[in-house]
């Protein structure tokens, strides 16, 4: 099959390509000099977030051609299809209606919305009961700790929200166990008391190996501690689309909250999968999280393309990934509470858009889903920022910066802000050879030594970054931020003509691991594998004796 090329038939494609060719060599600083409205022009505002994308290799004409490309690629229709419940997940023949989960009202999908509201009500009751100290366990002790057992989308979103909103944390503590490695569960349970612990098993499919294994161990831990089988229900809740499997596991339907196949795992924190967040933060805060996301949904659905924040971010992604050669994207939150944001975004963007065929099954000859990586500032500054400033890779950066702090330590926060703004500016301005030489001479080096060393201090600059700011990080702005990246991911998928809502690529490894587990137990000696795998299996066996 001939590989598909990127939107070449669209008239705007040639314009975008031409702009990219001329801007590749452009100087960001010169672009600022040439247009004094630039800092203002290249910004967007939505749902409490401010997006500054002025430090990008972009002109108003280049942006106009990108917007035209999006329009010719059918972006307005695609956005309409997402909200109207069309089968945008075409390979699984389903809509992707995560926006419904945070809607405050909806008539278009009345039947589905009825179930959303009923589930939300149940979540509220459960969260409030726990927060009032009215949920007791097998011994009559009040539940003080909740352990969320889940992985991927059934873990990353709730884990991020709970840790990002620590200043809003209530009485009940929430913990997260995800890994197949038993050490994860063991380390978590070490400091918990079974009598006052509640497990929430989150699994859309209720078939995920890691989650089921950890849940079985959790049940054994409870039984060992003295809970009777008939008392276990006081300590287990399940969130799943597969209510039957949860019941078979021993969780009665009254202790199960539903999820629906029209919610992708990585888009599910807004559903009952987010129950642990609602418990940790309290119901009001969780409702604010939903409201923040809903307000971003409204912006995405209704604002003009030129002001549409998720669309603009996606066009930048396309611009760098497919026209300027960047194969990665860096997210640097300058807020310690957001340390889990890069992990969350990795699943969101790479599981969604790491695809090699178009939505209709044609192989693609262009890059999709750039590698997303990053960590909190200022930690990254003492680690990988060297590469950002002087490495050979083009790494477009998103800085995420709340402008105020809950810590009360204003001066220290001011320094954090200064570091963030300095990093964004440094990426742009760099340091010339002459400036490097001057710096070295000022430091006391003679001219000859300064000449020798100067190339090592040169920073080419001209490296692009966006800065996303918000007055403070709170449930509302966090909700908006996560919804922003969700919609950016969707827009990019439309431009790349791929389906962002399936993840067939994760299956084969799981299947092969079943075969290997059998071989490790000598249960299937007929299943011969490649020489390297066979040797590693043998090494494992040798290590057991």
Residues of this chain that interact with ligand F6P (CB under 6 A) are: 150-154, 203-205, 208, 211, 265-266, 351, 503, 506
Q: Smallest distance, Å, CB 512 to ligand F6P?
A: 14
Of 308, 302, 300, the C-alpha closest to 44 is 308
3-state secondary structure 186-243: HHHHCCCCHHHEEEEEECCCCCCHHHHHHHHHHHHHHHHHCCCHHHHHHHEEEEECCH
Whether 56 is a known active-site residue: answer: no
Q: Dihedral angle at the C-alpha atoms of 119, 124, 125, 130, nearest 10 degrees?
A: 130
Tokens 């380390």 found at: 187
| Nearest distance in Å: CB 252, ligand F6P | 20
- Residue 156: burial class (beta carbons within 10 Å; 0-12, 13-18, 19+): buried
Distance CA 297, CA 80 (A): 12
Decide whether 185 or 312 has the Cβ nearer to ligand F6P. 185
Instruction: Round to whole Å and give the CA distance between 304 and 420.
Output: 30
Tokens describing residue 230: 């008939």
Q: In 10 A of CB 252, how many CB atoms?
A: 12
Q: Around Cβ 201, how many Cβ atoms within 10 Å?
A: 27
Considering the complex, state which of residue 77 and residue 209 has its C-beta at the smaller distance from ligand F6P: 209
Hey, which bits of 141-194 come out as E strands? 145-149, 173-177
Strand (E) or helix (H) holding 496: helix 475-496
Nearer to ligand F6P, 465 or 503 (CB): 503
Decide the pairing of beta strands 43-46 and 49-55: antiparallel
Annotation says 135 is catalytic: no
Say if CB 73 and CB 242 are below 8 A apart: no
Signed CA dihedral, 266, 348, 423, 35: sign only: negative
Nearest to 152 by CA among 179, 188, 182: 179
Catalytic residue among 24, 115, 166, 510: 510
Q: What three-state secondary structure class fits 429?
A: helix
Least distance between ligand F6P and beta carbon 155 (Å) = 8
**Minimum distance, C-beta of residue 513 to ligand F6P, in the bound complex (Å):** 12
Three-class SS state of 477? helix
Give the number of other CB atoms < 10 A from CB of residue 244. Answer: 11
Cα-based angle 323, 363, 392 (whole degrees, multiple of 5): 35
Look up 510 and say whether it is catalytic. yes
What's the rounded Cα separation, in Å, for the pair 292 and 289? 5
Write out the two tokens for 41.
């022009």
Q: How far is the CB of 207 from ligand F6P (least distance, A)?
A: 6
- Residue 446 CB, nearest distance to ligand F6P (Å)? 60
* Catalytic, out of 382, 448, 456, 511: 382
Query: Residue 254 CB, nearest distance to ligand F6P (Å)?
Result: 21
Q: How far is the CB of 201 from ligand F6P (least distance, A)?
A: 9
- Give the Cα separation of 403 and 332 in Å (integer): 15
Burial classification of residue 235, based on how many CB atoms lie within 10 Å of its CB (0-12 exposed, 13-18 middle, 19 or more buried): buried
Which residue in 210, 294, 351, 486 is the catalytic one?
351
The residue among 462 and 503 lying less far from ligand F6P, judged by its C-beta, is 503
Query: Minimal CA–CA distance to 149: which of 66, 214, 82, 79?
Result: 214
Q: Which is nearer to ligand F6P, 83 or 501 (CB)?
A: 501
Q: How far is the CB of 169 from ligand F6P (least distance, A)?
A: 25
CB of 157 to ligand F6P, least distance (A): 9
Residue pair 210/180 in contact (Cβ under 8 Å)? The answer is yes
The smaller minimum CB distance to ligand F6P, of residues 152 and 500, is found at: 152
What are the residue numbers of the active site? Answer: 351, 382, 510
């Amino acid at each position: 099959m001939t590989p598909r090329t990127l939107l070449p038939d669209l008239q705007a494609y040639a314009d975008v390509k031409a702009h990219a060719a001329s801007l590749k060599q452009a100087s960001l600083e010169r672009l600022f000099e040439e247009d004094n409205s630039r800092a203002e022009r290249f910004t967007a505002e939505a749902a409490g977030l401010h997006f500054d994308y002025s430090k990008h290799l972009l002109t108003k004409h280049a942006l106009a051609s990108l917007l035209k490309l999006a329009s010719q690629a059918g972006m307005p229709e695609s956005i309409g299809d997402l909200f109207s419940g069309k089968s945008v997940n075409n390979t699984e023949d389903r809509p992707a209606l995560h926006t419904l989960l945070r809607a405050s009202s909806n008539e278009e999908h009345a039947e589905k919305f009825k179930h959303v509201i009923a589930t939300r009500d149940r979540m509220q009751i459960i969260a409030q009961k726990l927060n009032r100290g009215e949920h007791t366990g097998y011994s009559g002790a009040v539940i003080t700790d909740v352990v969320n057992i889940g992985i991927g989308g059934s873990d990353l979103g709730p884990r991020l929200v709970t840790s990002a909103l620590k200043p809003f944390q209530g009485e009940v503590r929430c913990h997260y166990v995800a890994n197949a490695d038993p050490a994860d569960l063991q380390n978590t349970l070490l400091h918990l008391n079974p009598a006052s612990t509640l497990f929430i098993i989150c699994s859309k499919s209720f078939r995920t190996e890691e989650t089921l294994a950890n849940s079985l161990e959790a049940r054994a831990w409870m039984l060992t501690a003295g809970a009777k089988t008939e008392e276990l229900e006081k300590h287990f809740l399940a969130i799943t689309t597969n209510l039957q499997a949860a019941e078979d596991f021993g969780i009665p339907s009254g202790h199960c909250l539903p999820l629906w196949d029209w919610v992708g795992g990585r888009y599910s924190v807004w559903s009952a999968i987010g129950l642990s967040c609602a418990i940790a933060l309290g119901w009001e805060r969780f409702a604010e999280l939903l409201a923040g996301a809903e307000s971003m949904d409204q912006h995405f659905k209704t604002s003009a393309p030129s002001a549409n924040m998720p669309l603009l971010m996606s066009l930048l992604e396309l611009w760098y990934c497919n026209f300027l050669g960047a194969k990665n994207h860096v997210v640097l939150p300058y807020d310690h509470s957001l340390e889990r944001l890069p992990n969350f975004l990795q699943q969101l963007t790479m599981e969604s858009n790491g695809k090699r065929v178009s939505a209709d099954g044609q192989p693609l000859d262009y890059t999709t889903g750039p590698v997303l990586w990053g960590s909190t500032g200022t930690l990254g500054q003492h680690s990988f920022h060297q590469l950002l400033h002087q490495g050979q890779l083009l790494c477009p950066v998103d800085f995420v910066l709340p402008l105020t702090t809950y810590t009360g330590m204003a001066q220290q926060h001011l320094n954090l802000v200064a570091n963030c703004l300095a990093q964004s500016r440094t990426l742009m301005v760099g340091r010339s050879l002459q400036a490097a030489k001057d710096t070295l001479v000022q430091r006391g080096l003679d001219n000859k030594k300064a000449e020798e060393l100067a190339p090592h201090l040169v920073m080419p600059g001209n490296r692009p970054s966006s800065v996303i700011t918000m007055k403070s990080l709170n449930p509302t702005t966090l909700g908006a931020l996560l919804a922003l990246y969700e919609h950016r991911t969707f827009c990019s998928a439309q431009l790349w003509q791929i389906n962002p809502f399936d993840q067939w690529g994760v299956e084969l490894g799981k299947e092969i691991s079943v075969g290997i587990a059998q071989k490790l137990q000598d249960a299937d000696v007929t299943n011969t594998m490649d020489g390297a795998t066979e040797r590693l299996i043998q090494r494992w066996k040798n290590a057991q004796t």
